[in-house]
């Protein structure tokens, strides 16, 4: 892009207004987004105004998301502000964004993927979790995958930001919990967890990715954000989200997926579970970036093999 055609902030205002949840991790993600935008366009930091928004998901912490509205609880306030033009863009943890989004919004940028692994806090490995331990998590994927590997454990609901969950752990509400390695890294707290190998423990779709959204009809902001889009991350993320869409996965669905780009091709591994972890099926696919036909075929294969205990938690074809 030449200097003559490079997008500049709208003349009617001096700042882009970046909406974000106001949790410490969300703010860290917003700071990273602002830094990348300013570096890409040669702006001073004050050209991007951070606008913290309290999300519903941060207000209700005593129940699983699946019981109180699902992933939309992380996005609905930001969506409202974005739709009303009170902010120009919003920043999300990609794994917390619903698979089907409102048509008036789109994602011009995904930042380079950070560590996609889960970290175990309270034990050095799945095998090292004490026999019969109480494990805190509210993620159906983590609960089912744990019970599949360690049926002796008991899972209890564990919600809140990183600090809240670490406090609950310290107070004895559980002996072990899971946190995203990328979140700990962004908070400079990597030392509290033990990252789990993806060979043994499959992460969540879109984990480790910062997604940046704006109005689909806002050509100026779209062009500004395109400058910081990371194509390899986009290829992985779009394939993972395509799988969730084909499966009909929701916040209730215990599904794990690992999609990695290497030598111009994507390799996908996915596992579906029954919530109690007793039943598990896996499959793999290899695809080119942007070609989701193999993803659709993998989803169809998994659903065809799914036991009733698994299939009941996916909505494809319903």
pLDDT tens sequence across 267-300: 999 999 999 999 999 999 999 999 999 999 999 9
* Mean pLDDT on 88-111: 94
Tell me the CATH number at 86: 3.40.190.10
In a domain, 144, yes or no: yes
As a whole number of angstroms, the distance between CA 272 and CA 144 comes to 9
- Which pLDDT does position 73 carry in this prediction? 57
86 and 216 assigned to the same domain: yes
Catalytic residue among 58, 96, 118, 218: 96
70 and 217 assigned to the same domain: yes
Predicted confidence (pLDDT) at residue 114 exceeds the cutoff of 70: yes
Q: What is the pLDDT of residues 305-315, one digit of tens each?
A: 999 999 999 97
Q: Which residue from 181, 126, 171, 175 is spatially nearest to 155, judged by alpha carbons?
A: 175
In a domain, 10, yes or no: no
Give the structural domain span for 291: 240-311
In a domain, 203, yes or no: no
138 and 89 assigned to the same domain: no
135 and 171 assigned to the same domain: yes
In a domain, 256, yes or no: yes
* Mean pLDDT on 54-70: 50
Q: What is the DSSP letter of 13?
A: -
167 and 222 assigned to the same domain: no
184 and 71 assigned to the same domain: no
Least confident range of 13-22, 86-95, 190-199: 13-22
In a domain, 316, yes or no: no
Q: Is the dihedral of CA 220, 223, 224, 226 positive or negative?
A: positive
Predicted confidence (pLDDT) at residue 24 exceeds the cutoff of 70: yes
99 and 35 assigned to the same domain: yes
- Which pLDDT does position 15 carry in this prediction? 79
105 and 136 assigned to the same domain: no
Predicted confidence (pLDDT) at residue 143 exceeds the cutoff of 90: yes
In a domain, 176, yes or no: yes
- Which pLDDT does position 8 carry in this prediction? 46
- Which pLDDT does position 76 carry in this prediction? 80
Q: Which residue from 304, 211, 208, 210 is spatially nearest to 259, judged by alpha carbons?
A: 208
Answer left, alpha or beta for residue 248, where phi above 0 means left and psi between -120 and 50 means alpha: left
143 and 183 assigned to the same domain: yes
Tell me the CATH number at 249: 3.30.160.40
Proportion of the chain above pLDDT 70, given as a percent: 88
Tokens of 284: 């793999």
In a domain, 156, yes or no: yes
In a domain, 6, yes or no: no
Domain count, the chain: 3
177 and 31 assigned to the same domain: no
Catalytic: 96?
Answer: yes
Domain boundary among 170, 195, 220: 195
25 and 69 assigned to the same domain: yes
159 and 23 assigned to the same domain: no
pTM for this prediction: 0.88
């Amino acid at each position: 892009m030449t200097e003559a055609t490079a997008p500049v902030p709208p003349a009617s205002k001096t700042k882009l207004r970046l909406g974000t949840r106001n949790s410490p991790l969300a703010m860290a993600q917003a700071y990273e987004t602002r830094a990348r935008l300013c570096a890409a366009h040669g702006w001073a930091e004050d050209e991007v105004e951070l606008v913290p928004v309290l999300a519903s998901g941060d207000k209700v912490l005593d129940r699983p998301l699946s019981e109180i509205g699902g992933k939309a609880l992380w996005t609905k306030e930001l969506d409202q502000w974005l739709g009303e033009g009170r902010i120009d863009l919003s920043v999300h943890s990609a794994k917390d964004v619903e698979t089907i989004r409102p048509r008036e919004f789109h994602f011009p940028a995904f930042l380079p993927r950070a560590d996609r692994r889960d970290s175990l806090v309270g034990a050095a490995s799945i095998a090292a979790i004490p026999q019969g331990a109480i494990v805190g998590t509210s993620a159906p994927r983590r609960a089912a995958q744990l019970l599949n590997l360690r049926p002796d454990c008991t899972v209890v609901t564990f919600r809140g930001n990183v600090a809240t969950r670490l406090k609950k752990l310290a107070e004895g509400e559980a002996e072990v919990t899971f946190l995203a390695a990328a979140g700990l890294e962004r908070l400079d707290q990597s030392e509290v967890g033990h990252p789990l190998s993806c060979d043994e423990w499959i992460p969540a779709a879109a984990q480790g990715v910062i997604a940046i959204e704006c109005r689909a009809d806002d050509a100026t902001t779209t062009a500004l954000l395109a400058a910081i889009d990371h194509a390899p991350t986009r290829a992985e993320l779009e394939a993972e989200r395509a799988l969730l869409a084909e499966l009909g996965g929701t916040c209730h669905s215990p599904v794990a997926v690992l999609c990695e780009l290497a030598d111009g091709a994507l390799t996908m591994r996915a596992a579906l579970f029954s919530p109690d972890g007793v039943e598990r099926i896996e499959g793999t696919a290899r695809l080119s970036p942007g070609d989701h036909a193999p993803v659709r075929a993998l989803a169809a294969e998994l659903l065809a093999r799914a036991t009733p205990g698994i299939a009941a938690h996916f909505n494809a074809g319903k």
